[in-house]
Structures are given as C-alpha cells and as structure tokens.
Amino acid sequence: MRLESCLAAGLAGLCLAASAAADPIADFYRGRQVTIIVGGEAGTDYDFYARLLAHHLPRHLPGSPTVIFQYMPGAGSVIATNHVYNIAPQDGTVILAPARTATLAPIMGQTGTRYESARLNWLGSLNREVGVMQVWASWNVKTIEDARRQQLVIGSTSPLTDSDEYPNLLNATLGTKFKLVRGYRSITAIQLALEQGEVQGQQNSFTNMVDHFPDWRGKINLLVQLSPTSHPAIPEIPLVFDLIRPGAVAPGFTVAEVEELWRIILNQQAIGRPYAVGPDVPAERVAALRAAFEATLADPEFRAEAARSRLALAPESGVAIQAALARVAATPPATLARLRALVLGPAK
C-alpha cells in the first residue's frame, strides 16, 4: 500500500511539474533573440532609454531571451515604424523604439508613412516628456508675451518634428514671432548653435535641456511648458493651456478650437519614450510583453540604473497609449487637416 501511495504521489508530482513547465510564452522566448529597433542614431536619448530597457527586460520576460539592437534612422522614425509594421516578423521578437512624433506622423500628413499608429501594439513608455520653449537669457525674452512683441530666431531640425511643430503652432494660435531656421542635424546641434549665438532659442524636452545644461538657471529663460501636465521641477512656468484665454488667441480662432488643437498635438509629449510591436503579434505575447515592461519599471535595479544614467522615469502604460492614439484617429478630418497646415507653418 505504501509503495502504491508513493508511486501515485510521485506521478502526481511529475504531472504538476510538467504542467508548470508548459508555459507557451516561456517556451517561445527561451533561447531566442529579441531585437529592439531604434528609430534613430546611436547616442541619442532614445538609444539610451532603449539600452536601459534591454538590460533589464529579459529578467522579466518568460524564457529570458537575449536582446540586441538595430538602428534604423530616417524620416523621424517613419522608416523604422514602416519596417516593424509591414516587414518585421509579427511574432513578438521585434520591438520598435520610435521617436514620439512618429506616433502622429500619419495623421499629420508626413509622406512615406505606411502604418496606422493605433493598430500597432503599444507596450508602454518609459517617460512622459514635457516640452519647453527655451531662449538664451541674454536676449531678455522671458514670457510668451515678450515673444509676441519680439522676433526670435529658433533652430529646427526639419518639418513635423517637435522642434518645428510647436513653434509654428505657437505662432499660429498665440501670435508669437518665432522665425524658424531648419536643417540642424539634431537637437544637440541646435543647443550648440544656441550657445554660440547662431540662434536665439529652440523647442526642446525639459529632460534633454537639463541634461545638456544642468546649470540652466541664469543661462536660459523658459517661456512655456508644452505638455498636458506640468513638470514638478518648474511649476512656476505656465502650461500652454494657461495661456489660451479670450483676448490671447490669434484672430480667427476660438479658445475651444485652440485648446483642441493643442490637446491633439501634445499626445506626443504624453507618449514620450514609447515601445511597440507589430499589429499582428499574437495577443498572448503582447500581454506577456506588456507585463514584462511593467515589471521592469518596478524593478529596483532598473530604477537605480536609470538614476545613475540621469534618465528620468515618468512611465505610461501601453493600454493608455493605445487609447490615446485611438482617440486621435477618431478626430474629425477637418480638424486634423487644419492642424497639419498650422504645424507646417507658412509656405516658404
């Protein structure tokens, strides 16, 4: 009897062990290689955030795959996003790390987009960004009201990037006099031009500005925060929504119209540093990747490395990004057409 009981118990244990081991997600990822495609060049903030994620994500993804990088710069991450959407394997082994502007590029009319942002499976974002308009302090321009009276030369990389869209939209909706000079290779190149007096200001993310100018107070004036919510380090700087009021909006606009235009475009800032996989990745793998992403964000080792690397963390969930992009996609076409025209600025 004792022998039969032992055999029965042993067989039950083996069955339980086999059941526990039969994890299809772990079985799929075990021994595989996951590629993070960064939609820009090495050495950018998007690269640094992706490296941070890659260092810690495998511990939290069943099967612990290895992670490698592929850089695919061009067209503000549109080339990389097209690749993940249309060409890359749709099996959860290719993760996209695009520039946040790529999320709205199709609706903003950027040429060459062959994807629908809302159909990508968004895993989450490592950091919501707060944009700022920064002006070198020696020009003595301290507020948006000053920028309505005085023309400022603003550096830009290219149309349909943060550095270009936001100054154009401020000009159109709030009457500022920013004169854009396009063609800079990167935000860093514009910051160097700012130091050398080649331009007077630029649009930038607050985290990037602080990284380049840690002693920015006294050197730089911040005119406005371009974000749905204020950055805790600069509560004294007004949000753009604080400036949208009767008598302040440009002729031809109502307050409600201007608020709607800014709400749409500032989804990019809330999305910040996003990650996604292709539209046809199986739902169970999307769920596993999202869970691994969330677990990585909660990992003390991950957070400690982020702090050492001076990479700010204000995460957003993949579900929230998915919902935001679905709302944008449902915006009336006439509103999107008007926004497209405004962010491109006057014809040159």
Is the domain of 176 the same as that of 237?
A: yes
CATH number at residue 196: 3.40.190.10
| 338 in any annotated domain | no
Residue 323 above 70 pLDDT? yes
Domain boundary among 220, 239, 267: 267
Average pLDDT over the chain, rounded to an integer = 92
Is the domain of 227 the same as that of 312?
A: no
Is the domain of 89 the same as that of 179?
A: no
The percentage of residues in the chain with a pLDDT greater than 70, rounded to a whole number, is 93
Residues 6+ apart with CB under 8 A from 313: 126, 127, 297, 303, 306
| 20 in any annotated domain | no
* Residue closest to 67 by CA, chosen among 48, 51, 79, 82: 51
| 277 in any annotated domain | yes
What predicted TM-score, i.e. pTM, was given to this entire model? 0.87
Helix axes 162-174, 333-344, angle to 10 degrees: 100
State the Cα–Cα distance between residues 243 and 253, nearest whole angstrom.
14
Is the domain of 96 the same as that of 159?
A: no
| 97 in any annotated domain | yes
CATH number at residue 63: 3.40.190.150
Number of independent structural domains in the chain: 2
| 194 in any annotated domain | yes
- The string of pLDDT tens digits covering residues 63-115 is 999 999 999 998 889 999 999 999 999 999 999 999 999 999 998 888 999 99
Residue 298 above 50 pLDDT? yes
Is the domain of 95 the same as that of 179?
A: no
| 342 in any annotated domain | no
| 337 in any annotated domain | no
Integer angstrom CA distances of residue 274 from 22, 150, 303, 328, 342: 31, 36, 17, 16, 25
Is the domain of 138 the same as that of 262?
A: yes
State the Cα–Cα distance between residues 25 and 276, nearest whole angstrom.
18
pLDDT at 48: 94
Is the domain of 148 the same as that of 64?
A: no
Is the domain of 192 the same as that of 148?
A: yes
Is the domain of 33 the same as that of 77?
A: yes
Is the domain of 279 the same as that of 254?
A: no
- The residue range of the domain holding 176 is 131-267
- The string of pLDDT tens digits covering residues 111-162 is 999 999 999 999 999 999 999 999 999 999 999 999 999 999 999 988 888 9
Domain boundary among 240, 267, 294: 267
pLDDT at 176: 97
Is the domain of 147 the same as that of 204?
A: yes
Domain boundary among 224, 242, 267: 267
Q: Is 12 exposed, middle or buried, given 0-12, 13-18 or 19+ CB atoms closer than 10 A?
A: exposed
pLDDT at 345: 87
Is the domain of 63 the same as that of 185?
A: no
- The string of pLDDT tens digits covering residues 16-42 is 444 445 799 999 999 999 999 999 988
| 17 in any annotated domain | no
Mean of the pLDDT values across residues 238-246? 97
